[in-house]
Amino acid sequence: MGAIPTVSRGTRVVDPVLAGTEPAIRVLAMPADTNPTGDIFGGWIMAQMDLAGGILASRRARGRVVTVAMNAFEFHHPVYVGDLLSCYGRVVRVGRTSLTLHLEAFAERAAELGQVVKVTEATATFVAVDEQRRPRPVPPLDAPTDEPAPGA
Ligand SMILES: CC(C)(COP(=O)(O)OP(=O)(O)OC[C@H]1O[C@@H](n2cnc3c(N)ncnc32)[C@H](O)[C@@H]1OP(=O)(O)O)[C@@H](O)C(=O)NCCC(=O)NCCS
């Protein structure tokens, strides 16, 4: 996969998405994403969380991953048309081939400028897989990469 954008924190170089300081995805909730009563459909929010988790897991696993489980979804507040949904996550457990993430989604309300509400959270497990879709070990964090050194 391509180079991952990084920022320096002291001497440590961190991926801001993996560190949870930047969202893995940010997307506008559209009228086509609503349920019959006009709020945003929970299944659409779950799909965004799955996408965000997949991005995070793939960065940490440095390659292809598949979703094996999505658990403990909690919908705290509704999402409305026009809200900007941002999905953040962090890796809470690394197994041999699997990674478990805690995911959170925040809605920036269209109706009230600057109001940001945590709307959903979930736990998701992904498995790193090879080209034949077989589980492969998650590389250690400090494994060498083919990415250019920061500042290079
Ligand atoms: C994910 C998949 C590759 C795992 O294959 P498998 O033969 O069951 O592999 P294993 O039994 O060796 O399990 C692999 C890892 O997943 C974990 N795992 C399996 N099922 C799990 C579950 N329900 N919840 C959490 N972790 C699970 C195992 O504990 C293991 O983790 P570890 O290596 O860190 O200890 C296979 O089940 C699969 O392809 N599922 C479909 C994935 C998919 O299509 N997702 C939706 C679209 S991305």
Q: Do the Cβ atoms of 51 and 21 come closer than 8 Å?
A: no
Q: Do the Cβ atoms of 56 and 65 come closer than 8 Å?
A: no
- The pLDDT score that the predictor gives to residue 6 is 60
Helix, strand or coil for residue 42?
Answer: helix
Architecture label for domain 20-128: Roll (3.10)
Helix, strand or coil for residue 105?
Answer: strand
The set of protein residues with a Cβ atom below 6 angstroms from ligand 1 is 66-69, 95-98, 125, 127, 129, 133, 135
**Average pLDDT of adjacent 10-residue blocks, the chain of 152 residues:** 56 81 96 96 98 97 97 96 97 97 98 95 98 96 63 44
The two tokens of residue 99 are 């990674």
What is the spatial distance between Cα 74 and Cα 24, in angstroms, rounded to a whole number? 19
pTM of the model: 0.89
Residue nearest to atom 19 of ligand 1 (CA): 68
- The pLDDT score that the predictor gives to residue 10 is 60
Q: What is the pLDDT of residues 58-101, one digit of tens each?
A: 999 999 999 999 999 999 999 999 999 999 999 999 999 999 99
- State the DSSP H helix or E strand holding residue 130, giving kind and residue range, or none if neither: none
Distance 129 CA to ligand 1 centre (A): 9
Q: Do the Cβ atoms of 101 and 95 come closer than 8 Å?
A: no
What is the spatial distance between Cα 62 and Cα 72, in angstroms, rounded to a whole number? 26
The two tokens of residue 81 are 């048309």
Residue nearest to atom 24 of ligand 1 (CA): 69
- The pLDDT score that the predictor gives to residue 8 is 58
Residue nearest to atom 48 of ligand 1 (CA): 66
The domain segmentation of the chain, as residue ranges, is 20-128
